[in-house]
Chain A
């Protein structure tokens, strides 16, 4: 690419960033977001400019937070209850509450994508919550100390009360973010998009590739939605579920993001959940694609000057390239953090470790499954979130992997589907693939004819 083009692109990006900062500062002035939360290791601090959650130790937290009170008079220093024990390392124990909650506001959606991880349908799920229930859920999440919510579906843009809920989250110090297909509810969404921190539109391919991945031709509508949202909001990006069909088009998707001046591209691994369980064999990436993933996306990000995010399930594919572990830790790159950094909630409010996972079983026979409004009591319950919290009891090849404390054994939803056990090593991890290939007990024996 010519130097002039690159410089022009960087200049445009700088201009967009500057204007986005102004918008963000205005929004933070109207509704200040939660700025800090204490943790066993110290605290989590939120910055609006630049947007970041900063994890600090106790000594740093003492310097920047007003936690010392009137009893600091030479005789004693007030110590919060959460700091009563030994100072832990980040990641050693679950956080005191999730950083973010993924709220599936509805399972209604007309699109019918073949790989939909929620199995969304025009009728939605039975007993879906409405505005009153989700408003209460936001209150509970705010009291627990949650920083962000990611709202999704189904297609939540069709909900007439979406803007009201986003406003409520802002009032409670939580930043609402949104994923949409862009296929429905666009006019309403454009009118309320300033209430969200970041909006990403799902775009799994360009032109005909979109249809190959999703099962119908929706590219033109999704592209129109991206342009409409980008015309009125700067922090708009795309979510791309990476599949066997669109892997070779990743560079083109980065080029598209640059051309539309989008703020980011987020790459998601295909999960065998909902209708995706049936399409998993056809759509999931090959082992060779998984091994080529990191160099391919970094090259594309550099070529097109686009910010790139990857989802938690890609950590095994990052670790395959042996990046600096300290750097990954400093970037808070973790594998499965379901039931720890994040939780999910189904359309009826059922709490889950992540959006792909089934809700935990009821605490007692005949009782209901825990709801997101019971997060605080469930969070510290014995056995809460099952295998999502017991990742440190790993078997080989995870147990001896230098990245295990970060990766946590990969995606438990993939393991549950492919191995029938969520605590099994992620079968798509290149290290696990190699380990099994070298282990005769895992070899597939073809029948002798």
Chain B
């Protein structure tokens, strides 16, 4: 199975009730640091207990090739 990838990480919470705030502190350190942090977030997500999600109207596909 393909491992998949993290597309984006939106850091922190947005208390501002008028617009969407994004953390740009990473622009200080650049892509290198983010590239190092992203695998750690991936590992954290894989490490935590699998999260059940609602799939109210699921469809069945043929099984992917082995």
Contacts and interface: CB of A to CB of B under 8 A. Distances in A.
Nearest to A83: B59
B: contact size bracket: 35 or more
Contacts, number: 253
Contacts of A76: 60-63
A432 interface: no
**From DSSP, what is the main secondary structure of chain A's interface residues?**
mixed
B22 A79 contact: no
A344 to B, nearest CB: 8
- Among A54, A78, A235, A237, the one with the most B-chain Cβ atoms within 10 Å of its Cβ is A54
A56 B5 contact: yes
B10 A59 contact: no
Contacts of B34: 327, 330-331
A140 to B, nearest CB: 15
Contacts of A199: 15
A296 interface: no
Interface in A292-317: 294, 297-298, 301-302, 307-313
- Among B3, B22, B56, the one with the most A-chain Cβ atoms within 10 Å of its Cβ is B22
Interface residues of A, number: 96
Nearest to A312: B20
Nearest to B46: A64
Contacts of B15: 150, 177-179, 196-200, 237, 239, 266
A52 B11 contact: yes
Contacts of B24: 297-298, 308-310, 318, 331, 333
Contacts of A131: none
Contacts of A55: 6-10
A326 interface: yes
A159 interface: no
A51 B1 contact: no
A67 interface: yes
A81 B32 CA distance: 37
Contacts of A441: none
Nearest to B44: A47
A152 B50 contact: no
A105 B15 CA distance: 14
A62 interface: yes
28 contacts: A52-B12, A54-B41, A56-B4, A56-B6, A56-B7, A57-B5, A59-B2, A62-B1, A63-B46, A64-B48, A76-B63, A77-B63, A79-B59, A152-B17, A198-B13, A199-B15, A239-B15, A268-B16, A271-B18, A271-B19, A311-B16, A312-B22, A327-B30, A330-B9, A331-B34, A333-B22, A355-B17, A355-B19
Interface of A: 35-38, 41-43, 45, 47, 50-67, 69, 71, 74-81, 84, 90, 99-100, 102-104, 117, 148, 150-153, 175, 177-179, 196-200, 235, 237, 239, 264, 266, 268, 271, 294, 297-298, 301-302, 307-313, 318, 323-324, 326-327, 329-334, 337, 341-342, 344, 354-356
The 8 nearest A-B residue pairs measured at CB = A152-B17, A60-B4, A59-B4, A177-B15, A311-B19, A309-B21, A332-B10, A150-B17
